[in-house]
Every structure is written in C-alpha cells, then in structure tokens.
Amino acid sequence: MPRARQAPKTLDKISVYIPEKKADKNVMERLRKLGTKKDRSINYMVVEAIIQYLDREEKK
C-alpha cells in the first residue's frame, strides 16, 4: 500500500501592505476581478508575479 503524502510542516507566508499613495490604483479590486476572469486565486496570481519579477531581476 502506498504511503500517504505528508503535508509540509511549515508554510512560508507574506503580508502585503498597499501604501496610501497606491490606493488610487485599486489593486485589490483589480486582483479580484482578474482572478475571477482567469479562475485563479489572488494568492496564485501574486505568487506568479513575484516569481516572474525575481526571474527577471536575477538575470540583470
């Protein structure tokens, strides 16, 4: 009988603060709408954006 997978013992977490200067950009509202359109969670899209940013910046 195959062994059951064990859940990770810890999860990395981040919290994002959106400064007041960026409030007029409606970041959360835009993320919610895009997430609904693409059938993706906000978390998924934010992690993908971070990974793309890191990949791009690390090449410099």
Q: Where are the domains of the chain?
A: 20-58
Is 9 strand, coil or helix? coil
> Would you give the distance in Å from CA 34 to the centre of its chain?
13
Residue 3, pLDDT > 90, answer no
In whole angstroms, give the CA distance from residue 49 to residue 51: 5
Each residue of 10-57: pLDDT tens digit? 778 889 899 999 989 999 999 999 999 999 999 999 999 999 999 999
In whole angstroms, give the CA distance from residue 24 to residue 21: 7
This model's pTM is above 0.75: no
